[in-house]
Structure 1
Amino acid sequence: MLGYPIQTVEGGAMTVAIAVFVGQATAFVIACWIVKRAYDGYRDARRPALLWLALGITLLAAAPTILRFLLPTVFGASSVTTTVLANLSEVAGLTAILYTVYGRP
Structure 2
Amino acid sequence: MIAIPLEAATGGSQSAAALVFVGRTIAFAIACWIAWRTYRGYERVRAPALLWLALGIALLAAVPTMVRFLIPTITDVTPLTTTLLATSSEIAGLLAILYAVYGRP
The TM-score normalised by the length of structure 2 is 0.88
Aligned pairs (5 A) from 1:44-63: 44-63=44-63
Superposition misfits of 4+ residues, deviation over 6 angstroms: none
Aligned mates of 2:73, 2:57 — CA distance in 1: 24
Normalization by structure 1: what TM-score?
Answer: 0.88
Percent identical residues: 62
Q: How many aligned positions are there?
A: 94
**Alignment RMSD:** 0.8
Structure 1 SS opposite 2:24:
helix
Cα distance in 1 between the residues matched to 2:47 and 2:36: 15
Question: Who is 1:27 aligned against?
Answer: 27
Q: What residue ranges of structure 1 are gaps of 5+ in the alignment?
A: 1-11
Distance 2:77 2:22 in 1: 22
1:36-62, CA deviations, whole angstroms, 9 ceiling, x for partnerless residues? 100000000000000000000000000
Structure 2 spans left out of the alignment, 5+ residues: 1-11
The answer for the alignment partner of 1:3 in structure 2 is: none
* 2:22 aligned counterpart, secondary structure: helix
